[in-house]
Structures are given as structure tokens and as C-alpha cells.
Amino acid sequence: MDFDELDKIFIIPEKTKSGYGFADIPQPITLDKAKAVFYGVPLDLTTTFGKSTARGPEAVRTTSALQTETYVFDEKVDIYDRIGIYDLGDIKIHRSNKDKKKPHIESTFRYLDEKVSSVCKAALDFNKIPVLLGGEHTVSYFQIKELSKENPIVIHFDAHRDMKEEYGGLKLCHTTPFYYLIKEDHIPGENLVQIGIRQADSYENEVAKSFGVTTFDAWDVHDRINDLLSHLKKITENKNVYISFDIDVYDLPYVPCTGTPEPFGLDPFQIARIIKSISNSSTLIGLDLVEVGLKNNDFREGVLATQTLFRILAHRYKTM
């Protein structure tokens, strides 16, 4: 699999709604020189409450291109001196003009499963890190499934477990990906760490426990962050690491546009400390940042998402 063969599945960044590539800089980075490949999946199909995550890639591209500097202040490094980033664009999603009927959802998911798998395969073949910008959290399922052969520790930042068995009559949807990743044996529950959780039903909590998932809920982060930092450092030593980041892990006032903001959330300093605790001997193999929204021209969430991506990518991993 080659990236050239994938060309036709993408809308190039300049032709997306944003009109910019991620963190556009004067000297363009070639795919050849890039270590991280960005791509957007602007899907908002099964979300039920706030609807705006289809504009996530747009929010991130626009703020990263127009507002944020590429110098990562606390890491004292320019992001491009640490890691080359190439933006592939958005996966084309053919929208049905019918309302959201179930067969449409299923066929869209089948299509995305195939396309996301192809991007991940190409990334692995060429030793690059796929960075998926959502879109609703369902899209993470396709990427993690494909990368699960690398046996990563999966670090999942979220207000929600996303571990329901079904929701509104749907199996795979934005509240269920982690249930199916474990249930279908793509990742062992013991390899999943959920951080910042503060909304789940009792069934999800039981499922997480029976799967052997490690949880540091929002109160654990608030009350005993040092336990989390030392745990993360230890379990990621010499391991492959995958990060799935739902922007709603941040506290409600930080995320004005996401679909299901929750109080009692984390602040950016806590997130930065948690990211820094990942072992330097680990290898980042993939990343997704999902549920970023854009409403009323409010780009605050896009800035936060961009700066979070910069922190994750500027962290020192083994192969960088």
C-alpha cells in the first residue's frame, strides 16, 4: 500500500472547509520527510446531543494555520524540529440526502473502516504515525482496530468511557467503540487506560472492571495525580503507545463547542503533565483527537485541540 494510491480518497487540505493545511508553514513539508501524517474524518453521524464535530478538522486546521505558533513553549522546541507533519486532507464522506437511516450509517461505517484501514496500513509500511482528526469518537474504532496488531498500550482521555454495548439501537456508534475493541479481541482490556472519566452508567463501569481496564477517573486525577503519573510512566516503558483523545476530557468551560461537555473535568496543565509522564522509552504508533467542535465562529476549542496535539507530538518518544 502506497500513499499515492490513496490520493483519490482525500480532499486536499487547501480544498477543505478550512482552506489550510495543519500548521501551515512557509516551507512545506513533503510526505517523504514527515513522520506524522494527519488526516481528517469529519463525521457526525451517530452523535445525539450537540452536533458540531463534523467541523473538528476545520477548527484545528484554521487555528493551527492562522493563530498558533509552532514553537511549543514548555518543551522549548519548535514542533517541526521535533517531528515533520504532513496533512493528507479529509477523507471524502459521501453524504446521503436521506435522513440518518440505519443502512446509511452501516454503509458509511463499512466505507470508513476500509479507508481508515488503508491509511493506517500505508502509515505502518512507511514508518509514519497516523494522526486522525475527528469527527465523532466512532472513527477511533477503525484506526485502533487496524493498529492493534502493534500491541499498543491505549491511553484514552475522555469524560466518557464510550463502553456501552449499544445506544439508540446502534451497536457501533460514538458511545460504544471501546466496548467493541475489547469484546472483539482487538485490544486486551488490560492494555487500556481510561483517564478523566466522569460519566458512565453502572453497566459500563462493570464492563470496564470485568475487562480489566485501568481507570483514573476525574477525581483520581484531581486528588492523586502523582499515582497516575508514575503508573503511566511504568506501564509505557519500552512499549508501543496509542493515544485516543476526546476533547471533552477537558473541563466544561474549556470546550464550548463539543457535543457533550461535562463539569469536573481536567485542565490543560494536568493534561500536559499526564502527557509528559509517558515513558521516553515508548514508541508512539498512532493518535486520534476527536469530538472537537466549531460553533458560532468560536475557535477556542480548535486552539486547545491544536495545542494538545503539539504537546503529544512534541513529547520525546523512542524513535524521534
- Binding residues for Mn ion, rule: CB under 5 A, are 158-160, 246, 248
> Smaller CB distance to Mn ion: residue 129 or 255?
255
DSSP string, 85-114: EEEEEEEP-PPPSS---HHHHHHHHHHHHH
Measured from the Cβ of residue 57, the count of other Cβ atoms closer than 10 Å reads 32
| Smallest gap from residue 266 Cβ to Mn ion (A) | 12
67-98 exposure pattern, b = at least 16 Cβ within 10 A, e = fewer = ebebebeebebebbebbbbbbbbbbebeeeee
SS3 152: coil
| Smallest gap from residue 247 Cβ to Mn ion (A) | 8
| Contacts (Cβ under 8 Å, ≥6 apart) of 231 | 193, 214, 216
> Smaller CB distance to Mn ion: residue 65 or 139?
139
> Smaller CB distance to Mn ion: residue 45 or 159?
159
> Smaller CB distance to Mn ion: residue 81 or 165?
165
User: How far is residue 234's CA from residue 224's CA, in Å, rounded to a whole number?
Assistant: 16
| Smallest gap from residue 204 Cβ to Mn ion (A) | 12
Q: What angle do CA 182, 186, 191 make, to 5 degrees?
A: 65
> Smaller CB distance to Mn ion: residue 49 or 269?
49
| Smallest gap from residue 160 Cβ to Mn ion (A) | 4
| Smallest gap from residue 175 Cβ to Mn ion (A) | 8
- Spatial contact of 44 and 52, defined as CB atoms under 8 Å apart: yes
> Smaller CB distance to Mn ion: residue 9 or 275?
275
User: How far is residue 9's CA from residue 21's CA, in Å, rounded to a whole number?
Assistant: 17
User: How far is residue 10's CA from residue 15's CA, in Å, rounded to a whole number?
Assistant: 10
For 209: left if phi > 0, alpha if psi spans -120 to 50, otherwise beta; the answer is alpha
Specify the DSSP class assigned to residue 236. T
| Smallest gap from residue 257 Cβ to Mn ion (A) | 13
| Smallest gap from residue 286 Cβ to Mn ion (A) | 19
Helical segments of the chain, H only: 3-6, 56-66, 79-82, 102-125, 138-147, 177-183, 202-211, 218-223, 225-235, 268-276, 300-314
| Smallest gap from residue 201 Cβ to Mn ion (A) | 14
Rg value, the chain, Cα: 18
> Smaller CB distance to Mn ion: residue 82 or 160?
160
> Smaller CB distance to Mn ion: residue 16 or 53?
53
Q: What angle do CA 107, 55, 192 make, to 5 degrees?
A: 70
> Smaller CB distance to Mn ion: residue 16 or 138?
138
| Smallest gap from residue 174 Cβ to Mn ion (A) | 8
